[in-house]
Structure 1
Amino acid sequence: MALSLKLPELPQVLIWRYFDDEPFLHYNESSNRTDSWEPRIKRHWRAMTWARETEDLQEMVEQLKRMLAEVTGQKGQDKGLHILQATLGCELQRNGSTRGFWHLGYDGRNLLTFDQKTLTWTMDMPFTQQKKTFWEPRAPRADLVKTFLDDTCPAQLQRHLASLRSEPLDTGSPMVIVTFRNYPLGRVTLTCRAFNLYPHMATRGTLAWLQDRKLVKQKAFEPGTILPSGDRTYQIWVSIWVLPGQEPQFTCNLSYHGGNIEKRAVIVNTVSGEKTRQPSTSGVGGRVKKSLWTTMTTAFMVTSWTRKTGGDSTLLLLWWLLFFSTVLAVLTLV
């Protein structure tokens, strides 16, 4: 008895869009429709908005398809599976300015990056002059890329922000937790963590330690120190060293736009020998994007598959590995 494995047809296009590193929108090639995982987007976007988003994505796909077809059609190119990857987007910084980025990859390797200052494409990998001459002219036109990064993407980002801000997520009130950890050298680390901070709270506020009602250490909310929680809220933490027995003298104070929360160190969640992240410096740890406030990234994968004898299962596996590596790479951009 012989068994045959019928391989599923590979999609030609996969598109995921991320908002602050969280997937919230995707494009369905079979239905030619754009959909979102974010319920607030679904409730507030009208048919015209969905059509515009879909049209913008389709135009980008056609541009990338033409590039891939031109590359794979060149003499000497191997048959089989080839994948063109693109990660592009823009960042809205705290001062209101924006910055764009556009990266291209081919068959799972970084290939080209667009330089917004010089309006040119540069190679990301070691290259010969022959490779440079081959790839750079085939990249998307610089004027079109500039228009997208300077105008189209920031407008889309502002549109998404407006939809999300119109109906904040109800994840509960801000929460403050105090923990301590004993060290063998006669010192105690007090750590105060604040959770469930909405974006409008996280733009203006402080998390501070007070000793006998006097300020000891304070940290203002900044894009470089607040951490996304994964549910559109943010968190921040601050730690100090104290001597054993001093804990009751200390109070953690969270001050934010719309409220104030205090938590005394004597009312603690005791974590003896806890294995949590400790600050590497005297300030708040865990830096995220240095000067960013909000970022939007779109990941494209466009495939070309010229069937050849044998190796179909291997090619299918390779395709999925490249897909997931692209998704992970999006989360580590800039």
Structure 2
Amino acid sequence: MPLSRGAPAVLPFLLAFLVGRGAGSSSHSLRYVYTSVSEPGQQEPQFFSVGYVDEQEFVSYDSKAKRRFPAVPWIRKVEEEDPEYWEQGSQLVWSAEQVFRMDLENVARYYNQSGGAHILQYMYGCELRKDGSKGGYDQLAYDGRDYISFDKETLTYTAADVPAQNTKRKWEAEPAIAQRNKAYLEDICIEWLQRYLDYGKETLLRTDKPEVKVTRKEDYDGMETLICRVGGFYPKDIDIDWTRDGEVWLQDVFHGLVSPNSDGTYYTWRSVKVDPKERERYKCHVEHDGLPNPVDVAWEEPDSNLGLIIGCVVGVLLLIAVMAGIAVYFKKSQDGYKAAAASDQGSNSSGTGTAVPI
């Protein structure tokens, strides 16, 4: 989405064709993020470009090398069908980088800013949901805040504030741009998402079963918190609820973000504050593609360690007794040897010639 005078309103259409043209099955997404950063003392802003399929980085751009590179092995399969994939993609992202530099200057001018560090980010992509519907997004942010976004259903732009109205007026003066954006998000992007999913199906289309465990901690007010920890699952989409007597319970329920593990799986948690007397009424209900059926997990009293402790104590006592017996035995043997040695010496010295039994 250019804000520059030299290339008015072509960036969403230009960037949309930078290699990403994808599509997929249920609950999958293709997303690209472009970032331009200006810092005091730098002649030119830094530029970054990254592509994601289902939040897995699969391509990135090196502005120094002016090249786009694969981030995962499976994307190399595209070269068999499109030998020019990397060269064309690199050229297009490099062109976008030049436009972004001018865009960053223009937006700073809209806000009457003459210096300092600033950041312009552009994100666009598409998704296929579980119900078969398609989604798409195309938006810009400046210094970490919303700037302007495109609605493909209404073919309109939403400016976040007064300075962003400058961009909105530019883009609305070119209706064909909105039509091209819509076509990309609904068709071309979906087609490429499906293609990428086929290339990386061994990892992107796998399902890893979630591990569910409920723990508890006592609260200062006599209540307690049950915590449902869910980890090791893939894909990311998961439904977790606390239920009370089989019904979804929302009171005093808190949740964490779904976060990635180092092995590519995800983890998260849900907690609920309960009266200890009613603890058994609550269960953690989990639904995920890796589970053949939903699971309901309640908190369980940990197995008693008393038997183990007693067994260990008895074992230690027996060991001590055995060691003591061995020590006594060796001591007696040693004393007997010494006594026998003294007796032999005495008979020899007396010369009595007493016979020794044989």
Compute the TM-score of the two structures, normalised by the length of structure 1: 0.52
Aligned residue among 244, 257, 274 for 2:276: 244
Q: Please list, as runs of the form range in 1=range in 2, the aligned pairs for 1:50-199 lying within 5 A after superposition.
A: 51-52=84-85, 55-56=88-89, 58-59=91-92, 62=95, 65=98, 85-104=121-140, 111-127=147-163, 133=169, 136-137=172-173, 141-167=177-203, 174-199=210-235
Distance of 2:146 and 2:170 partners within structure 1: 15
3-state DSSP class of the match of 2:203? coil
Which letter does structure 1 place at the counterpart of 2:265? T
Q: Does 1:18 align with 2:52?
A: yes
Structure possessing the higher radius of gyration over alpha carbons: 2
Which letter does structure 2 place at the counterpart of 1:244? P
3-state DSSP class of the match of 2:276? coil
Q: Does 1:35 align with 2:65?
A: no
Pick closer, same or farther for the CA change 1:66–1:242 going to 2, 3 Å: closer
Residue 26 of structure 1 and its aligned partner are, at CA, apart by 0.8
Deviations 1:207-244 (A, max 9, x none): 7769xxxx64569xxxxx89533144344544455543
Deviations 1:24-79 (A, max 9, x none): 42123444532233x35346544545743663564465367468669979xxx999
Which letter does structure 2 place at the counterpart of 1:188? E
Q: RMSD between aligned alpha carbons?
A: 5.1
Distance of 2:212 and 2:256 partners within structure 1: 14
3-state DSSP class of the match of 1:167? helix
Which letter does structure 2 place at the counterpart of 1:228? V
Q: Which runs of 5+ in 2 are unaligned?
A: 1-40, 107-111, 250-254, 304-358
Aligned residue among 234, 253, 260 for 1:230: 260
Task: State the aligned residue count.
Answer: 250
Deviations 1:134-179 (A, max 9, x none): 5654899223322221222222322333334323699976322221
Pick closer, same or farther for the CA change 1:127–1:174 going to 2, 3 Å: closer
Residue 180 of structure 1 and its aligned partner are, at CA, apart by 0.7
Q: Which runs of 5+ in 1 are unaligned?
A: 1-6, 220-224, 270-334
Pick closer, same or farther for the CA change 1:54–1:190 going to 2, 3 Å: farther
Which letter does structure 1 place at the counterpart of 2:197? L
Pick closer, same or farther for the CA change 1:229–1:50 going to 2, 3 Å: farther
Q: 1:229, 1:235 within 8 Å by CA — same for their partners in 2?
A: yes
3-state DSSP class of the match of 1:126? coil
What residue number does 2:335 align with?
none
Pick closer, same or farther for the CA change 1:56–1:226 going to 2, 3 Å: farther
Residue 125 of structure 1 and its aligned partner are, at CA, apart by 2.2
Pick closer, same or farther for the CA change 1:240–1:51 going to 2, 3 Å: same
Residue 123 of structure 1 and its aligned partner are, at CA, apart by 3.1
Pick closer, same or farther for the CA change 1:127–1:218 going to 2, 3 Å: closer
Higher relative contact order (CA 8 A, sep 6+): 1
Distance of 2:61 and 2:102 partners within structure 1: 21
Distance of 1:243 and 1:197 partners within structure 2: 30
